[in-house]
Amino acid sequence: MRTGGQLVVDSLKAEGVRRVFCVPGESYLAVLDALYDSGIALTVSRQEGGAAFMADAWGKLTGRPGVAMVTRGPGASNAACGVHVAQQDATPMLLLVGQVARGHRHRGAFQEVDYRDFFGGMAKWVAEIDSADRVPEMMSRAFHVAQSGRPGPVVLALPEDMLRETADVSAVSGRAPIARPAPAPADLSRLAGLLAVAERPLLVLGGTPWTADAVVQITRFAERQALPVAVTFRRQMLFDHLHPNYAGDLGIGANPALLDRIATSDLLIVVGDALSEVPSQGYTLLDIPEPSQALVHVLPDGAELGRVYRPDLPIQANPIAFAAAVARLPGAAPTPARVERVAEAHAAYLAWSEEMPEMPGRLQMAGVIAALRTRLEPDTIIANGAGNFASWVHRFWRYRRFATQVAPTSGTMGYGLPAAIAAKLAFPMAPVVCVSGDGDFQMTGMEFSTAVQVGAAVVVLVIDNGIYGTIRMHQERAYPGRVIATSLTNPDFAALAEACGGYGERVETTDAFGPAFDRAMASGKPAILHLLIDPRAIAPGKVLPES
């Protein structure tokens, strides 16, 4: 006989879960007790949003569902931001939520929430496990749903009395294989035909799921077919930035040369990404519903194909399966003109990523990125949250390998620090750098204590301009001179790091950054470098007026 709580943990072990992120709660004490000697590592966060962000980051970087556990009501509400990130970013994730006892439901019990209503629009599947003997079945389904088709978050509610209930379940079966829809032979034949006649083709990579092998295979395809390769917003790790076929990213402030190249292409192959608002530049990049370019759209969820853009060739396929198939696709030697266009596209990217503009202030973000380039290896993982500060990283940092970027395409503030902690726990030998804004960091800043507790020696760059920069930029554009609600009075972030038991240092000039970063890395502790920049230096090449 096993309790419901023990069966939950048995199911996690059967699925190969190595680590769970949580804030403890009395509603799921039976699960915590079962974790005590389970061999599964448990990371205790300071707030449920941090735990959910960590689970999302784990899912992004490993390809396996990240698992977070939170208590009912307020705990679930705090975790909702992480569920939203996982939904928008197509991240496999499982959120386990303690629930009121079954006999207390629908009475307004302490911290009661109807999770189907609350999470129904955000999660792929929301359910409650009503009896202990169904735990293995429901847990197995949760992992399957989270990873199948377009990946995403699943929420399971666990009534506290169900977790104490026993069931006669002798064993929990291991993980089930996940089906990967693959391109049909007819699809590949049509694709080969389109490539044979295209003069200005371009390949766009994004979405999920990918693997390191799939990235190698799609690179081989791009090389053989002479395809410039662009990546979508915050999916830059999908292609080596110094590879001669790399053309840049479709993010905020994209290279105008890349946008022109896409606008004038005669064949656009989009793999894994729905081309939503940000990569499509506010739905202006392609005509809707019928693009002027021939469009090959590859997505794992057939319902997404044709929802916004009408493709000439829709292919329902998982990016991993598609990459494996097209890597073997035969083709004639590309024309010299195609080869030349690939070189032009890469040269345009290099020029764009080297034009580091001089901005107001003694501390130049261009100099910060330049110093990081000379100090960090290609396996360095860069984490960030949301804000204009991230534009410096996206434009000037060069991603070289898969699984080295963890950032929210949903634009969620506070994501970077929890994500960096999860990254360091998943890949302890890799350097991990978190880039945060001052407002962004303070959303989840006390997770720095979590980093100290678990020994996750991440280096956090807190870029402090004393404002909510993105909103101030929009405010000055729409309502010039009428500043309201966008100014911040900030703490001494370096002192905060030291108060938590980490390393902290204040940086006020460009020349001081490199040595300070070296000291932070050498400390062997979680570290915060407090970078003070001029608030006018709002983004690369963009300067706010004097306040």
The answer to whether residue 111 scores a pLDDT higher than 80 is: no
Spatial CA neighbour of 242 closest among 113, 329, 326, 353: 353
- Are 104 and 220 within one domain? no
Q: What is the mean pLDDT of the chain?
A: 94
Span 530-541, pLDDT tens digits: 999 998 988 888
* Alpha-carbon span 392 to 466, nearest angstrom: 17
State residue 266's pLDDT score. Answer: 96
Q: Is 77 exposed, middle or buried (0-12, 13-18, 19+ CB in 10 A)?
A: middle
> What is the separation of C-alpha 506 from the centre of its chain, rounded to a whole number of angstroms?
28
* Alpha-carbon span 47 to 415, nearest angstrom: 12
- Is 220 within 8 Å of 234 (Cβ atoms)? no
- Are 362 and 340 within one domain? no
Domain boundary, last residue among 352, 384, 419: 352
Domain boundary, last residue among 117, 136, 167: 167
Stretch 328-340: mean pLDDT: 86
Q: Give domain status of residue 460, yes or no.
A: yes
Q: Give domain status of residue 180, yes or no.
A: no
Spatial CA neighbour of 303 closest among 316, 319, 294: 316
- Are 86 and 217 within one domain? no
- Are 380 and 457 within one domain? yes
- Are 156 and 229 within one domain? no
Q: Which residues of 210-248 are buried (b: 16+ CB within 10 A; e: fewer)?
A: beeebbebbbebbbbbbbbbbbbbbbbbbbbbeeebbbb
**Number of domains, the chain:** 3
> What is the separation of C-alpha 228 from the centre of its chain, rounded to a whole number of angstroms?
24
Q: Give domain status of residue 177, yes or no.
A: no
- Are 346 and 360 within one domain? no
Span 75-108, pLDDT tens digits: 999 999 999 999 999 999 999 999 977 878 788 8
State residue 337's pLDDT score. Answer: 92
Stretch 346-372: mean pLDDT: 93
State residue 547's pLDDT score. Answer: 66
The answer to whether residue 300 scores a pLDDT higher than 80 is: yes
% residues pLDDT > 70 (the chain): 99
Strand, coil or helix: 367 = helix
Span 15-48, pLDDT tens digits: 999 999 999 999 999 999 999 999 999 999 999 9
- Is 65 within 8 Å of 94 (Cβ atoms)? yes
The answer to whether residue 392 scores a pLDDT higher than 70 is: yes
- Are 364 and 487 within one domain? yes
- Full domain range(s) for residue 271: 185-352
* Alpha-carbon span 157 to 458, nearest angstrom: 33
Q: Give domain status of residue 51, yes or no.
A: yes
- Is 127 within 8 Å of 143 (Cβ atoms)? no
CA distances from 488 to 404, 437, 484 (A): 31, 11, 11
Q: Is 541 exposed, middle or buried (0-12, 13-18, 19+ CB in 10 A)?
A: middle
Span 199-253, pLDDT tens digits: 999 999 999 999 999 999 999 999 999 999 999 999 999 999 999 999 999 999 8
- Is 96 within 8 Å of 8 (Cβ atoms)? yes
Domain boundary, last residue among 167, 200, 222: 167
DSSP, residue by residue, 388-427: TTHHHHHHH----STT-EE--TT--TT-HHHHHHHHHHHS
Quote helix, strand, coil % in the chain, to nearest 5: 40, 20, 40
- Are 118 and 262 within one domain? no
Span 434-456, pLDDT tens digits: 999 999 999 999 999 999 999 99
- Is 314 within 8 Å of 192 (Cβ atoms)? no
Q: Which residues of 283-316 are buried (b: 16+ CB within 10 A; e: fewer)?
A: eebbeeeebebbbbbbbbbeebbeeebebebbbb
Spatial CA neighbour of 124 closest among 166, 93, 159: 93
Q: Give domain status of residue 178, yes or no.
A: no
The answer to whether residue 482 scores a pLDDT higher than 90 is: yes
Q: Give domain status of residue 442, yes or no.
A: yes
Spatial CA neighbour of 392 closest among 443, 463, 440, 459: 463
Span 241-299, pLDDT tens digits: 999 999 999 999 899 999 999 999 999 999 999 999 999 999 999 999 999 999 999 99
State residue 408's pLDDT score. Answer: 95
Q: Give domain status of residue 173, yes or no.
A: no
Which CATH number belongs to the domain containing residue 244 in this structure?
3.40.50.1220
Q: Give domain status of residue 228, yes or no.
A: yes
* Alpha-carbon span 125 to 106, nearest angstrom: 21
Which CATH number belongs to the domain containing residue 530 in this structure?
3.40.50.970
DSSP, residue by residue, 485-508: S-B-----HHHHHHHTTSEEEEE-
- Are 312 and 429 within one domain? no
- Are 265 and 325 within one domain? yes
Helices (H), 198-306: 212-225, 256-263
CA distances from 107 to 28, 73, 98, 113, 322 (A): 20, 14, 17, 10, 50
- Eight-state DSSP code of residue 101: -
| Tokens (6 digits) for 478 | 């729409």
Sheet strand arrangement including 294-299: 246-250, 229-232, 201-205, 267-271, 294-299, 313-316
State residue 173's pLDDT score. Answer: 82
- Are 155 and 228 within one domain? no
CA atoms within 13 A on the CB side of 357: 13
| Tokens (6 digits) for 545 | 């007026």
Beta bridge partners of 455: none
Span 311-324, pLDDT tens digits: 999 999 999 999 99
CA distances from 177 to 27, 145, 147, 174, 180 (A): 32, 12, 10, 10, 9
- Are 319 and 364 within one domain? no
